[in-house]
């Protein structure tokens, strides 16, 4: 296991921003860490890097305590946007980072090449486009050949071309066997790249599985009258226009309960959903 967390929790005041999250990232996989904005992805990642101390629970990164030199030197990260000196060139920023990491400066050129920034290496970071800034962040994360690459929403704010570049970059790294923890609030953006995904919503890990398993859940579509009453009756159902979706196995029991409560059931059928729908349903984001 590259990363394991055990009931990892962070509270700010009364609010559990990350709530007993137990996840695991395996060697060689691309792990998609998914959740809507504010779900707790960045806070979880900050705890994996020792930037934020957990309120309770534990995390191990490559068998080490997060934030220790042993753990940090084996992890490259880009968290919530790149943090570089605006007045330095891309190359100088990487040299500074290489010095901190104890990596020889010759590795800087290879990293620049990997993210396709050789041509702009002498330009000031301040002048970079957002996409270039993010790529420089990935280059910095790659310095020192880390065993784990943590990328927190690396496509955030990018235009479609920038997003495609970033996706290609991650795909290329994955093809070389790089273990990647990739967070995103857009499922469609990572579903083709990821081997497994963890879905976080309001601080809780609501699912962790392969993409296929996630999609494979059967969902029932229910048309009934009055639909609001059915919505209230069926725990965990979500209202989509004039129909209900519910992750349920026993359709018979469900219909009986509705009829018993004087609700007219007009249609019940299994629904094959897109991943996006699964995601929305799980995270409660409509």
Partner 1 sequence: MGSVKAELLRLWKWPATWVLIGVWLVMTLTFGYLFNYLALNGGTNTRDLSQQQLISSMQPENVGAAVVRGLPMFGGAIILVLAALAVGSGYGWGTWKTTLTAGPRRVSAMAGTLGALAIIVVILVALTLFVNLGAAITVASVEGWDWSWPGVGVFEALGASLLIAAMWTGFGVFLGVVTKGPALAVGLGLMWAIVTENLLRGVGSLLGPVEDLTKVLPGGSAGNLAGAVGGSGAPGVLTDLSGTTAALFLVGHVVVFVGVATLLKVRRDLV
**What does the binding site for ligand ADP look like in residue numbers (CB under 6 A)?**
12, 17, 35, 37-43
Nearer to ligand ADP, 39 or 112 (CB): 39
Q: How far is the CB of 281 from partner 1 (least distance, A)?
A: 30
Nearer to partner 1, 53 or 256 (CB): 53
By CB under 8 A, name the one of 25, 62, 120, 140 that touches partner 1. Answer: 140
**SS3 assignment for the chain:** CCEEEEEEEEEECCEEEEEEECCEECCCCEEEEECCCCCCHHHHHHHHCCCCCCCEEEEEECCECCCCHHHHCCEEEECCCCCCCCCCEHHHHHHHHHHHHCCCCHHHHHHHHHCCCHHHCCCEHHHCCHHHHHHHHHHHHHCCCCCEEEEECCCCCCCHHHHHHHHHHHHHHHHCCCEEEEEECCHHHHCCCCCEEEEEECCEEEEEEEHHHHHHCCEEEEEEECHHHHHHHCCCCEEECCEEEEECCCHHHHHHHHHHCCCEEEEEEEECCCHHHHHHHHHCCC
When asked if residue 92 is in the footprint of partner 1 (CB under 8 A), the reply is yes
Q: How far is the CB of 38 from ligand ADP (least distance, A)?
A: 4
By CB under 8 A, name the one of 6, 24, 81, 130 that touches partner 1. Answer: 81
When asked if residue 75 is in the footprint of partner 1 (CB under 8 A), the reply is yes
Q: How far is the CB of 198 from ligand ADP (least distance, A)?
A: 12
Nearer to Mg ion, 17 or 246 (CB): 17
Site for Mg ion in 24-43 (CB under 5 A): 42
The contact set with partner 1 (CB under 8 A) reads: 43, 46, 49-53, 68-69, 72-73, 75, 77, 79-88, 92, 95-97, 99-102, 140, 144
């Amino acid at each position: 296991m590259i990363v394991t967390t055990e009931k990892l929790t962070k509270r700010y005041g009364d609010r559990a921003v990350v709530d007993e999250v137990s996840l695991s990232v395996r060697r060689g996989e691309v792990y998609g860490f998914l959740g809507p904005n504010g779900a707790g992805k960045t806070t979880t990642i900050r705890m994996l890097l020792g930037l934020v101390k957990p309120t309770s629970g534990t995390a191990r990164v490559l068998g080490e305590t997060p934030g220790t030199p042993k753990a940090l030197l084996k992890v490259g990260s880009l968290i919530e946007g790149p943090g570089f000196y605006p007045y330095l060139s891309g190359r100088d920023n990487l040299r500074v980072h290489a010095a901190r990491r104890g990596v020889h400066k010759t590795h800087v050129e290879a990293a620049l090449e990997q993210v396709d920034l050789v041509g702009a290496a002498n330009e000031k970071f301040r002048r970079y486009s957002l996409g270039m800034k993010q790529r420089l962040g990935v280059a910095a994360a790659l310095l020192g050949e880390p065993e784990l690459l943590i990328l927190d929403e690396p496509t955030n704010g990018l235009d479609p071309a920038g997003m495609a570049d970033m996706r290609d970059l991650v795909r290329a790294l994955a093809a070389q066997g790089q273990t990647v923890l990739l967070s995103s609030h857009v499922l469609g953006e990572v579903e083709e790249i990821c081997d497994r995904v963890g879905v976080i919503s309001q601080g809780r890990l609501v699912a962790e599985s392969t993409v296929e398993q996630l999609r494979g859940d059967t969902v029932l579509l229910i048309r009934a009258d009055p639909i609001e009453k059915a919505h209230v009756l069926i725990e965990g159902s979500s209202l989509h226009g004039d129909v209900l979706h519910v992750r349920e196995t026993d359709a018979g029991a469900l219909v009986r309960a509705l009829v018993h409560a004087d609700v007219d059931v007009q249609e019940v059928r299994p629904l094959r959903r897109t991943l996006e729908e699964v995601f929305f349903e799980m995270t409660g984001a409509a």
